[in-house]
Amino acid sequence: MFRELQVMEGESADIRGERGLPCCSLDRRSFLKCAVATGAALGLAELAHPAAGIPAGAGQQKQDDSRFTVEAKFYQKLENRKIKCKLCPRECKVGDKERGYCGVRENRGGTYYTLVHSRVCAAHVDPVEKKPLFHYLPGSLAFSLATAGCNVNCKFCQNWDISQVRPEQIPADYAPPQRVAELAKQYSCPTIAYTYSEPVIFAEFLMDVADAGHEAGIRSVAVSNGYMQDEALKAAYGKMDAVKIDLKAFTESYYRDVVTGQLKPVLDSIVTLRKMGKWTEIVYLVVSTLNDSESEFRGLAQWVKTNLGADVPLHFTQFHPEYLLKNLPITPVPTLERAKAIADAEGLHYVYIGNVPGHPAQNTYCPQCRRLLVERVGFTASQMLIQKGSCPYCRHPIPGIWHT
């Protein structure tokens, strides 16, 4: 069985075999071959497309898309067979036979459809620490899946192969909700994770899979950019047991120029998740020269403490050159340590450094007695000492979801 390891922010569909094969940058052809190899290794024959390894448009037979097509939940009908999408803050106005920004929703005669329901293009069994979720079932596995598409275009995206394409441009296959739940149980995964691309854009599929999973006793987590409208957030992520939000930066200019999105809706989403009682963790990818100023680190830490509370985990992760930002260097470790020191000084209790294997700031410590509680080696929790949600040494409560 393949166990995917990660060396970059967020989650990559690059693959490392159980024998320790090195991660590498993949072109489209290699990426698709790896995706299918992973499916085969897991016994997911239905996820292994026969056209794998063939670039999009290179003589593939047209798929029957009807089984992937379901009416969208979040839109408003307008005059002249137009619609307004109400899924994310873009509120795309889409004419007949056209698609929204994400490329996976299409107006057909005034009715809006998602084209990616059950249309899985990547599926892996991952350690939950890879999401990263550090206060959620340490050491457990997550059955992780994605469809094509995204509602932003981050210049540093390492999964652009699937996030920046239309669904018909890459191999995928039919994996309905009940089948996903069965596979999660088959591979001893207590959790299904919606990740790799952006779960916002396949919200209908996510909701149906979460329902099927919960009926089978399996939880759900989303790894998301949080760029969505309030109604959709409450409906879709209301079905999640935990959510990890990629907070790309703490300035609107960065969101405009690097992400092609907006900061405020993401901040609003994080606050809403906390009000809903959802376990939430935040990742901040530190990109040298773009979002690594002390004022941003301090402003972020102060905002988290004021609006979310000191116990929300904050992960400062190391950037690796990818996609459209290959000209910038890997984030220096001292920069990450400076960010953590600032957040610690502002009173946050759980500040982590990510993508730096072996760094002590990947471990969890009690904020009261400072004893080691969860030790992590790579994406494995090698030691977990938390007992009934508390430090075993001083009985200080440690927020999180620690047991199934």
Residue 328 has pLDDT above 90, yes or no: yes
Residue 319 has pLDDT above 70, yes or no: yes
Q: Which of 114, 146, 173 is at the close of a domain?
A: 114
DSSP conformation letters of 142-169: EEEEE-S--SS--TT-TTHHHHTS-GGG
For residue 346, give its domain range: 28-40+118-384
Q: How many domains does the chain have?
A: 2
| 179 occurs within a structural domain | yes
pLDDT at 335: 98
Is residue 324 within 8 A of residue 156, CB to CB? The reply is: yes
Section 143-151 average pLDDT? 98
| 189 occurs within a structural domain | yes
Identify the burial level of 30 via C-beta atoms within 10 angstroms of its C-beta, where 0-12 means exposed, 13-18 middle and 19 or more buried. middle
Q: Which of 79, 99, 114 is at the close of a domain?
A: 114
pLDDT at 185: 97
Residues 201 and 335 in one domain: yes
| 213 occurs within a structural domain | yes
pLDDT at 87: 98
Residues 330 and 186 in one domain: yes
Buried b (16+ CB within 10 A) or exposed e, 350-387: bbbbbbbeebebbbbbbbeeeeebbbbeebebeeeebe
Is residue 230 within 8 A of residue 154, CB to CB? The reply is: no
pLDDT at 62: 52
| 15 occurs within a structural domain | no
Residues 32 and 103 in one domain: no
* In 78-120, beta strands by DSSP E: 83-85, 93-94, 105-108, 111-114, 119-120
Residue 12: pLDDT band by 50, 70, 90 thresholds?
Answer: low
Task: Report the CATH number at residue 204.
Answer: 3.20.20.70
First-to-last CA distance in the chain?
Answer: 23
Section 19-23 average pLDDT? 26
| 100 occurs within a structural domain | yes
pLDDT at 11: 58
Q: Which residue has the tokens 């290794």?
A: 41
Distance, CA of 254 to CA of 256 (rounded, Å): 5
pLDDT at 378: 87
Residues 86 and 171 in one domain: no
| Region label for 378, one of left (φ > 0), alpha (ψ between -120 and 50) or beta (otherwise) | left
| 242 occurs within a structural domain | yes
Residues 90 and 185 in one domain: no
Q: What is the mean pLDDT of the chain?
A: 88
Residues 105 and 184 in one domain: no
Residue 50 has pLDDT above 70, yes or no: no
Section 120-133 average pLDDT? 97
| 196 occurs within a structural domain | yes
Residues 241 and 92 in one domain: no
Residues 101 and 242 in one domain: no
Buried b (16+ CB within 10 A) or exposed e, 88-125: bbbebebeeeebbbbbbbbbeeeebbbbbbbbbbbbbb
Residues 239 and 315 in one domain: yes
Q: What is the pTM of this model?
A: 0.87
Residue 17 has pLDDT above 50, yes or no: no
Residues 146 and 203 in one domain: yes
- pLDDT tens-digit series, residues 227-275: 999 999 999 999 999 999 999 999 999 999 999 999 999 999 999 999 9
| 395 occurs within a structural domain | no
Residues 123 and 98 in one domain: no
